[in-house]
Structure 1
Amino acid sequence: MKTIKTYSEFWPYYLREHAKPATRGWHYFGTAMGLAILIYAFLSQNWWLIPLMFVSGYFFAWMSHGLIEKNKPATFTYPVWSFISDFKMLFVFLTGQMGKELEKAGIDKDGAIRA
């Protein structure tokens, strides 16, 4: 695979690495849980909870890659863009734009990647 140099190149790659709906679902869950932990940590001032935010987010994401998608998480190659994309993917899903983004990335609704 060639090295990705821009975020606009990375985003479609990221979506293709998360082609299966179940993989994205576990990412949404982990990201939302991480955000909930962060909010609770700030409201309760229990700062020791902040590391749990990362554990929650990455645990569910990495398990979905190993068990469902059967690929290596993008985090290991592009950690910053991958972190940003977890939140972007959740936002795109919550705003009803995921179908359009998947179509642009060449992914059908069942998670098959078109050549």
Structure 2
Amino acid sequence: MSGFSSFSEFYPFYLGEHRNRTCRRLHFVGSSLVLGVVLLALWSGEWRWLWLAPVAGYGFAWIGHYGFEKNRPATFRHPLYSLLGDWVMYGQMLSGKIRF
């Protein structure tokens, strides 16, 4: 992976790292759980739940990468672009632009 000068330059690479449908599904589940944990913490006022958000998000994603995609998550070299890519891909899966 080389350096990327913008997110729009990075995102095609990011999508290429998510060709496996099971990996994308695991990302979707993890991201949905992150939203659920954040909403639970906001609704209940119990901020201690928030530690589960990164565990759910990264846990499911990394299982997808190591178990199904057979690659190293982009998070390790491009953490901010990768986090943004997760949410852009999530939105594109919800809208039907990307199949999951």
Q: TM-score range by the shorter chain?
A: over 0.9
Letter of the 2:72 counterpart: K
* Higher-Rg member (1/2): 1
Letter of the 1:33 counterpart: L
Spell out the pairing of 1:75-114 with structure 2 (5 A cutoff). 75-98=75-98
The Cα shift of 1:2 comes to 2.6
* Paired-residue identity, %: 37
User: Which structure 2 residue ranges, 5 or more long, are not aligned?
Assistant: none
CA separation in 2, counterparts of 1:74 and 1:33?
A: 20
User: Which structure 1 residue ranges, 5 or more long, are not aligned?
Assistant: 100-115
The equivalent residue for 2:52 is 52
The equivalent residue for 2:9 is 9
The Cα shift of 1:4 comes to 1.4
Letter of the 1:50 counterpart: L
CA separation in 2, counterparts of 1:2 and 1:36?
A: 34
The Cα shift of 1:74 comes to 0.5
CA separation in 2, counterparts of 1:45 and 1:19?
A: 38
RMSD of aligned Cα (Å): 1.0
The Cα shift of 1:68 comes to 0.4
What is the number of equivalent residue pairs in this alignment?
99
The Cα shift of 1:70 comes to 0.7
Q: Which runs of 4+ in 1 moved over 2 A?
A: none
Letter of the 2:85 counterpart: S
The equivalent residue for 2:69 is 69
Structure 2 length as normaliser, TM-score? 0.94
